[in-house]
Amino acid sequence: MSESTTFTEGEFYEGHFDARAYARNFYSCPSGHPDEKSFLTFVLRCLSGVFSAGEHKGKLLIDVGSGPSIHSVLSACDHYDEIVLSDFASNNRREIEKWLENQEGSLDWKPVLHYVCKLEGKSPSKLEATVKQRVKKVLKCDVRLENPFDPHTLEPADCVITSLCLEAACKDIQTYCRALHGLTKLLRPGGLLVMVGVLGESFYKVDEQLFSCLRLSQDKIKEVLSGLGFSIHEFNILPAEDRENNTVSDFEAVFQLVARKPSE
């Protein structure tokens, strides 16, 4: 992408993001998009490693920027009483709601569900039922706002997950820093932040539609989180394979981190 290209913020997603194509291209099987190699399996394994043992648990988990997907909360849902999913784009929220309500033609998450269950020794039908029972709300969110859920005010969460959201929503590092600060306000003191994202990515494509991405480094993310008082417990990185033949994105690495908000 050239520097002059306008960054594709939330309003662009509302009019141009094809939720079903995104799910089909990147989540129709556990291996994800073939050009991105082990991207999705890395993410699913990392999230399973964080949550499956049940060490992290509580009343409320908020997933910020879910897209049309439920994959981010599959390993966590057994351990939190209530889950809030969210996205800026109405078509993404609508696809989640269709799946939760068992509507005809809803997205098929069975391949990803089966993969997570194989990792964790669970029943796919029971896990699906647990997700549908624990998700209490699907809300609009805008991470550029001080309160991403304005006009709603959510109770402080025990855990916030955000996956592939901030770097796609924030046009510059100042906006990114403000967005992370907004996420910290959603957490109770001592609460857990789990992030999945990409390093060094400037774009990704859904079919032929191009979307911008803020190029981030591991050092910058650590710097921002440390400045907000977070202690980082994990920062796992998978470098991209065969970047020259990746037609759908230009990420240098995918990462997953676990950080904890300071206790007051």
Q: Which of 3, 72, 36, 18 has the alpha carbon at shortest distance from 243? A: 36
Mean pLDDT of the chain: 94
The per-residue pLDDT for 243 is 84
Whole-angstrom distance, CA of residue 215 vs CA of residue 197: 11
User: With bands split at pLDDT 50, 70 and 90, how would you rate the model's confidence at 32?
Assistant: confident
The per-residue pLDDT for 36 is 84
- pLDDT, mean of residues 138-165: 96
Please give the structure tokens belonging to residue 42: 């890395």
pLDDT for 3 beyond 80:
no
pLDDT for 12 beyond 90:
yes
The DSSP code sequence of 31-74 is T--GGGTTHHHHHHHHHHHHHTTS-S-EEEEEEES-TT--GGGT
Whole-angstrom distance, CA of residue 225 vs CA of residue 161: 14
pLDDT for 38 beyond 60:
yes
Q: Which of 262, 43, 236, 64 has the alpha carbon at shortest distance from 160? A: 64
The per-residue pLDDT for 2 is 39
The per-residue pLDDT for 45 is 96
pLDDT for 35 beyond 90:
no
User: With bands split at pLDDT 50, 70 and 90, how would you rate the model's confidence at 5?
Assistant: low
Question: Which stretches of 130-186 are assigned E, i.e. beta strand?
Answer: 135-140, 157-163
pLDDT for 1 beyond 70:
no
Who has greater pLDDT, 90 or 241? 90
φ, ψ (nearest 5 deg) of residue 69: -110, 155
Superfamily designation of domain 10-260: Vaccinia Virus protein VP39 (3.40.50.150)
- pLDDT, mean of residues 205-210: 94
pLDDT for 135 beyond 50:
yes
- pLDDT, mean of residues 161-187: 96
User: With bands split at pLDDT 50, 70 and 90, how would you rate the model's confidence at 4?
Assistant: very low
Lowest mean pLDDT among 42-51, 163-172, 195-204, 236-245: 236-245
- The pTM of this model reads 0.95
What are the CA-CA distances from residue 74 to residues 150, 243, 248, 256 (Å)? 26, 29, 25, 16
pLDDT for 151 beyond 50:
yes
- pLDDT, mean of residues 125-129: 97
Q: How many beta carbons lie within 10 A of that of residue 262, not counting itself? A: 12
What are the CA-CA distances from residue 99 to residues 106, 130, 257 (Å)? 5, 13, 28
Reported as a single tens digit per residue, the pLDDT across 243-252 is 888 889 999 9
Reported as a single tens digit per residue, the pLDDT across 95-126 is 999 999 999 999 999 999 999 999 999 999 99
